[in-house]
Amino acid sequence: MPTFIQHNNINIVTLYINDEIAVHCQPGDVVLKQEGDHWMTYEVRANGEVEAAGFPCESYDKAMQMAKSAADNPARLK
C-alpha cells in the first residue's frame, strides 16, 4: 500500500514492488519505488512522463534523501 508525505508542497509517494506508478501517482509527484533489493526515485513530469531521478539506492533512507532533493527543485518536474 502506498504512503504519501509532502516536502516543499510536493507529494513524495512511496510504492512497493507490486504498486504501479500510473495507478497511484500524478504529475508533479516524486516517487520512491522498491525494486527488488533496492529503491529507485522517479519524477512524474507535468505531461505524465516518468523519469528516473538518480541511481538505485540500497536503503529507503538514501532514496528519501534523493526524493527530497528532487522536491527541492520543483522546476525539474515541469
pTM for this entry: 0.88
Residue 36 has a pLDDT of 92
pLDDT at 76: 62
What is the tally of structural domains in the chain?
1
Say if 10 falls within a structural domain. Answer: yes
Find the domain containing 9 and state its range.
3-73
Asked whether residue 47 is assigned to any structural domain, the reply reads yes
pLDDT at 1: 84
Residue 28 lies in a domain: yes
* Cβ–Cβ < 8 Å for 41, 70: yes
For residue 50, list its beta bridge partners.
44
What phi and psi, each to the nearest 5 degrees, are found at residue 60?
Answer: -60, -40
* Residue 49 domain-assigned (yes or no): yes
- Cα angle: 65, vertex 40, 7; to 5 degrees: 35
Residue-level pLDDT, tens digit, the chain, 78 residues = 899 999 989 999 999 999 999 999 999 999 999 999 999 999 999 899 999 988 899 999 999 998 998 888 766 655
CA 61 to chain centre: 13
